[in-house]
Amino acid sequence: MIRHPEKVNLPDNPIKRKPDWIRVKAPTSIEYLKTKKIMRDLSLNTVCEEASCPNIGECWKKGHATFMILGEVCTRACAFCNVATGKPNAVDKFEPFNVASAVKRLNLNHVVITSVDRDDLYDGGASHFCEVIKEIRLHSPTSTIEILTPDFLRKKNVITKIINAKPDVFNHNLETVSRLYKKVRPGASYNHSLDLLKKAKEINKNIFTKSGIMVGLGETNDEVIGVLRDMRSHLVDFVTIGQYLQPTIKHIGVDRFVSPSQFSAFKKIAYELGFLMVSSSPMTRSSFFAGDDFINLKRNKLTQINN
């Protein structure tokens, strides 16, 4: 199977040599192998594998994994993403139970659920997200749940259904700056994504909202700061900022490797803008140790209330 048929005839983009601050070890730990076995036993997909995440070894060693529901084939064709594109298979009706089983077997305190885009489904897969949340609550009632959803473009009222299922964190990534959307996220809308995040908070003011972007796609530092301001004006609580890494020669090329000091500068600005939680580093990804950060935040809030 060709993973990206729409990219086959595109010109090659040579992959640039990574700087010294971007280095990852090959996954070999016993814990990594255990996590992988659980995923295969239950016929589950993870974005860690499908998107070639560089943090897979470190996360899986700690038993952290981001489940990717609704299949492994996406109906979109973003210029940066390594998830396979094309015509998806039918939705697995046993997937919600299997995800919940994996969460319990891995003893996860915090679980992240994402998905491919399913523009072919009447509700974009929103009802399936709700079923997954329901099953996790049933089998692991103390686990906190973060969902990282598609934009549900042209799928009316589905955000209400998802927020009413009561995830702890609603995450939807902007991915890049507005100017680059047609190049990086064809078929998506910057303003729609912002409005989706704001709508989630308006439906339930107690839910935490989260978004993230990659840098190195051709944006400027000022544009990054502009996105952060847009997120805050749309009531986003948490933000992640990470370095884009080109998965193949057919994907959009890396424009620049942002220095660790610049990531620190972005982090400082984000906190000054009022974000509650910020992860900004070359290796940051949407769900990289999301549970650690979220649980620490909840613990700090409880301490403040008790004092």
pLDDT tens digits along 114-128? 999 999 999 999 999
Going by pLDDT thresholds of 50, 70 and 90, the confidence category of residue 31 is confident
**Residue 289 pLDDT > 70, yes or no?**
no
Summarize the confidence of residues 117-145 as an average pLDDT.
96
Block residue for tokens 């051709």: 218
Q: How far is CA 93 from CA 12, 73, 131, 135, 297, in A?
A: 39, 16, 9, 12, 34
pLDDT, position 307: 46
Residue 39: band (very low, low, confident or very high) from pLDDT cuts 50, 70, 90: confident
pLDDT grade, residue 42 (50/70/90)?
A: confident
- If you average pLDDT over residues 206-229, what whole number do you get? 97
Extract long-range pairs of 15-19: CB within 8 Å, 24+ residues apart: 15/246, 15/248, 15/249, 15/253, 15/254, 16/246, 16/253, 16/254, 16/257, 18/245, 18/257, 19/257
pLDDT of 27 above 70:
no
- What's the mean pLDDT in 197-222? 96
Maximum mean pLDDT: which of 10-24, 30-44, 249-263: 249-263
* CA separation for the pair 169, 38 (Å, rounded): 25
Sign of the dihedral through C-alpha 268, 272, 274, 276: positive
51 near 81, Cβ under 8 Å? yes
| Per-residue pLDDT, 303 | 47
In this prediction, residue 306 carries a pLDDT of 47
| Average of per-residue pLDDT across 106-121 | 91
Question: Is residue 51 predicted with pLDDT exceeding 60?
Answer: no
CATH domain 25-306 topology = TIM Barrel (3.20.20)
- Kindly report, residue by residue over 243-272, the tens digit of the pLDDT: 999 999 999 999 999 999 999 999 999 999
Read off the pLDDT of residues 158-188 as tens digits, 9 standing for 90 and up. Answer: 999 999 999 999 999 999 999 999 999 998 9
Query: Does residue 94 register a pLDDT over 50?
Result: yes
Lowest mean pLDDT among 19-28, 213-222, 286-295: 286-295
Give the start-to-end residue ranges of the domains of the chain.
25-306
What pLDDT does residue 62 have? 64
pTM of the model: 0.90
Is the model's pLDDT at 53 over the cut of 80?
A: no
Task: Please say whether the beta carbons of 68 and 50 come within 8 A.
Answer: yes
Q: Is 84 exposed, middle or buried (0-12, 13-18, 19+ CB in 10 A)?
A: middle
Mean per-residue pLDDT over the chain, rounded? 88
pLDDT the model gives residue 264:
98
Q: What is the pLDDT of residue 25?
A: 66
Could you give the angle at the alpha carbon of 272 between the alpha carbons of 268 and 273, nearest 5°?
120
Q: What is the pLDDT of residue 286?
A: 81
